[in-house]
A and B are shown apart, each in its own frame.
Chain A
């Protein structure tokens, strides 16, 4: 079983729509959770950290469900510039301090 699983998409979404991605992780000891965004041929950039209480940053909302071991990202009022690959990322911690990445969900916002 893969450690971090995401639907690779692509998700083709009209501009202005709301889109949601989910991600599941297999290691219940995972301690930190993030969404990164990666544009084509660029480095991953942190979009937001994900907390059990949920967090919101403008049009973006992230949620963590530890009991079910899934993480979600909601994008409201999507913009053309939101087109990218969204990587669900988990840090197991406890000495294994690299990040484990999902394969990413490819989002295409269409005008």
Chain B
């Protein structure tokens, strides 16, 4: 079983809703990541946090807002999403950012936007 826990597992929301995805790890990792995966496509990086600071934002629309309240938690706040945002959202963590650091993935939140 993965040591990166994501909640909820499934989420259905309307385009006017505000919701949040949560990710938690207790491996003492200092880097955390959000990826988006559409069906039959590979995961695509959205955000990277290193020591609770946002270090990479891969030109993600502002309707996705990440937050890292502490070293164990990573949230993704969602607002005014579009149906094309429906996807599997994966959280990952690694010991640090940088060369050789293995990323471990959570089971994901499957999001449907109606």
Contacts and interface: CB of A to CB of B under 8 A. Distances in A.
Given A34-B102, A43-B107, A45-B105, A98 B42 contact: no
A64 to B, nearest CB: 13
A31 interface: yes
B28 interface: no
Contacts of B48: 97-98
Contact of B55 (A41, A87, A97): A97
A97 B104 contact: no
B45 A49 contact: no
A96 B107 CA distance: 24
Interface range, A side: 20 to 34
A53 to B, nearest CB: 14
A97 B56 contact: yes
Contacts of B35: 98
B103 interface: yes
Interface range, B side: 20 to 34
A95 B99 contact: no
Nearest to B50: A97
B98 A97 contact: yes
Contacts of B105: 43-45
Contact of A99 (B41, B45, B108): B45
B42 A91 contact: no
Interface stretch (A13-21, A54-62, A67-75, A101-109): A101-109
Contacts of A95: 55-56, 97
B56 A96 contact: yes
Contact of B106 (A43, A100, A103): A43
A102 B43 CA distance: 9
Contact of B104 (A31, A46, A91, A102): A46
B59 interface: no
Interface of A: 31-32, 34, 41-46, 49, 87, 91, 93, 95-104
